[in-house]
Structures are given as structure tokens and as C-alpha cells.
Homo-oligomer: A and B are copies of this chain.
Amino acid sequence: MMQWYFVAALLTILTSSQGILTTLSQSHGKYNYDYATVPFLAEVFKLLVSSFLLWRECKASPKPRMTTEWKSVRLFPIPSIIYLVHNNVQFATLTYVDTSTYQIMGNLKIVTTGILFRLFLRRKLSNLQWMAIVLLAVGTTTSQVKGCGEVSCDSLFSAPIQGYMLGILSACLSALAGVYTEFLMKKNNDSLYWQNVQLYTFGAIFNMARLLVDDFRGGFENGPWWQRLFNGYNAITWMVVLNLGSTGLLVSWLMKYADNIVKVYSTSMAMLLTMVLSVYLFNFKPTLQLFLGIIICMMSLQMYFAPPSPLIDTPVTVKALPENLNEVSVDRATDS
């Protein structure tokens, strides 16, 4: 059995690579391929991998547990439906707010995930863990604060109220999709691969439908999506697809054997890692706020995951100063 933190670390690295690879796959800041085809192919990749693993599992004994009744299967398109709604809310939000503000508001999803995790999955968190979650959101936001001299910063938080309401809705939907997926994966002891096959079948169908809707909207002027599926693809584009598919498989694993909070930490750390790598790879200017954000997120990580007892144990006080220094010291634990 893989340890969850190994999977989480791998997810961090792959998610971070995703940002770098996507940037590298562009030429002169533009995509030579239709980006909408990437998530579809990633779903197909995940479906193929999961089907193969399920098939291998079926050959072995004991047979994998598979619930095939419609009552259960019908729950698996729901995450895809939530993502579909989320994409449209995201689109609507961006008509009100600029991308910087949208990116900043995206950190709200860390907090909404914590709340829905508590409300829907009934998982209790200690006060320290709640503080850690808020700090993670604060840390990622800090790293994104625009430095001086950067463009389009006057517009930050000057959008109409609808923009912020939609941003909050977007954060809730994103959290809901995650929490619902965790519920699906954990609701019974079904084989992970069987659950994946159901999840990704619907994922592939919804992504295909999206490509088709885009074609209808564009009046088929570039031809149907299946004719231009691999147009402009090169080696890096395929790496983007495989990388996105792999991160998806790792997320599924985490949803079953770890939880949404682990996933949120992984992806937040990935964002910071991407920013650090961008300093080296793309000559981005490192900012003080990136450095501060990293410290805050590391503290948050420690607060959330470290075993609590060593965290609060104070080493035995050594009497070292003359006379009664220790007597007059403040007893905080009882006073505050």
C-alpha cells in the first residue's frame, strides 16, 4: 500500500509540472492546438489506464468488489455535472472581474473545501487544523499579491458585487465537486479502478459533449472536433495530456485513501513550487510576497499534519536565572 504522503508529494510535483508544461507547449504565448481537447484526451487516458487495471484485477483473486446497480452508478456523473456548472460560473465571473482578482478569489476554495468537508462528510477538525486551513488560503493569496511595477493592479477588488458573489459560488462549487467525489470513492469498498471507470466514462462523455457544443457554437467552421483532435499536437502537448491524466488518477487515489484536505495541500504547494520554478525557468522576478507565502504555507502544513502533542509540549523549564525569575513569570495557559 502506497503511503498517502508519497502520493501527495507526487501529485504536487505533477501538478507543478502541468503549469510548466502548459507554458512550454505554447509558442509565442499562444496555443497551436485546441486546448479544450486536452481534458478530453486526459479523461480517455485515465479511462484506459483504469480499465486495464480493473481487467488485471478481475483476472486475479479475490475478485474486485464492484457495485453495478443503477442506484450506485447514477451517482458517478454528478461530479462531471458539478464541474460543468462550475465552468459556466467561472466564465460568468470573468465577465465581472479580471483574471488577477479571479486568481486571488480562487484561494477561497481552500476554505470552502474545509467547510464542506466538515458539513457533508462530517469530518471533525481541531481548532488548530481550522487555523491551518485559513493560513493555507492566506499563504497562497500572499504569494499572489501583485508587486510594485506590475500591470493591471489598480483593478484588483474594484469589480461589481456580482463578480464577488460569483467568485464565492465558484469556490463553493469547486469544493462541492471535490467533497462529492470523496463521498463517492469512500461510500463503499468497491475497487478503486471500478469507481474510476465509472467516473471517467462520464468524464469523457461530458468532455466530448463540451467539444461538440463548442463546435455548434462556432458553426462547425473548423470542422467537427474529431477531425481536428490532434491538430497542432507535438511531444509537449502529449506530455500535457499524460500529465493531466496522471494527476487525475492520483487525485482519485487520494480521494479514496486520503481526503480532500490532503489534495488541497498538494495543489497549493504545487502552485508555490510552480512559482519558484518559474523564477529559474522563465526568469520571473522572485518577490518578497512569494517568500512570505511559502513560509506561511509551510507553517500551515506543519500545523495541520504534525502530530499535535510534540507541537504543544514545552520542554521542562530549567531554573537558570537567579532567585525568583520563574515565580513571577506569567502563567498563560490559565490567564488567557
Contact = CB atoms under 8 A, between A and B. Distances in A.
Interface of A: 3-5, 104, 121-129, 131, 134-135, 138, 141-142, 145-150, 153-154, 156-157, 183, 186-189, 256-259, 262, 288-289, 292, 295-296, 299, 302-303, 305-318, 320-325, 328-330, 332-336
Given A262-B330, A288-B141, A311 B127 contact: yes
A300 to B, nearest CB: 9
Contacts of A311: 126-128, 312
A147 to B, nearest CB: 7
Total copies of the chain: 2
Contacts of A289: 142, 145, 289
Given A5-B335, A122-B318, 16 more contacts: A124-B315, A124-B316, A124-B318, A126-B312, A131-B299, A142-B296, A146-B147, A147-B148, A149-B153, A156-B288, A157-B288, A183-B325, A289-B289, A296-B296, A305-B332, A305-B336
B310 A134 contact: no
Nearest to A303: B131
B335 A4 contact: yes
B307 A334 contact: yes
26 contacts: A4-B330, A5-B335, A5-B336, A104-B288, A122-B318, A123-B329, A124-B315, A126-B312, A126-B313, A128-B312, A129-B314, A134-B299, A135-B299, A138-B295, A141-B292, A142-B289, A142-B292, A145-B145, A147-B153, A148-B148, A148-B149, A148-B154, A149-B153, A186-B325, A259-B329, A262-B330
B258 A330 contact: yes
Nearest to A313: B126
A52 to B, nearest CB: 24
Q: Which of A129, A296, A332 has the largest count of B CB atoms less than 10 A from its CB?
A: A332
Nearest to A330: B258
B186 A336 contact: no
Contact of A131 (B157, B188, B258, B302): B302
A309 B332 CA distance: 13
Contacts of A313: 126-127
Contacts of A310: 127
Contacts of A150: 148
Given A138-B296, A328-B186, A333 B318 contact: no
Contact of A325 (B121, B288, B320): B121
The 10 closest A-B pairs by CB, nearest first: A148-B153, A308-B312, A122-B320, A124-B315, A305-B336, A126-B314, A186-B325, A307-B333, A128-B311, A146-B148
Nearest to A254: B330
